[in-house]
């Protein structure tokens, strides 16, 4: 973790550029380093797995509706 420089008129101008969008320090990249604990997977893999899970749950709902509609006699509704 970086420390802020104290004092000097240029410290406020440099701190705004250091914490801005697109800077390489202190942003989301620090979560994907070798120091992090747990399984190392990329955000793309997480996104794809989430989409597969959503598709699987949707398919189960559709199959459940189709299966239930075949079990109910035609005049029972």
**Global pTM exceeds 0.75:** no
For range 60-70, the mean pLDDT = 90
Q: Is there a contact between 42 and 65 (Cβ–Cβ < 8 Å)?
A: no
pLDDT in tens, 26-62: 566 666 566 667 788 888 999 999 999 999 999 999 9
SS3 assignment, position 28? helix
Range 56-77 average pLDDT: 84
pLDDT above 70 for 4: no
Is the pLDDT at 63 greater than 80? The verdict is yes
């Amino acid at each position: 973790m970086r420390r802020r420089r104290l004092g000097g008129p240029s410290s406020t101008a440099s701190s705004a550029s250091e914490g801005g969008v697109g800077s390489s320090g202190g942003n989301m990249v620090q979560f994907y380093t070798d120091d992090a604990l747990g399984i190392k997977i990329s955000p793309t893999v997480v996104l794809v797995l989430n989409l597969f899970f959503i598709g699987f749950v949707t398919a189960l709902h559709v199959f459940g509706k189709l299966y239930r509609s075949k079990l109910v006699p035609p005049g029972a509704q």
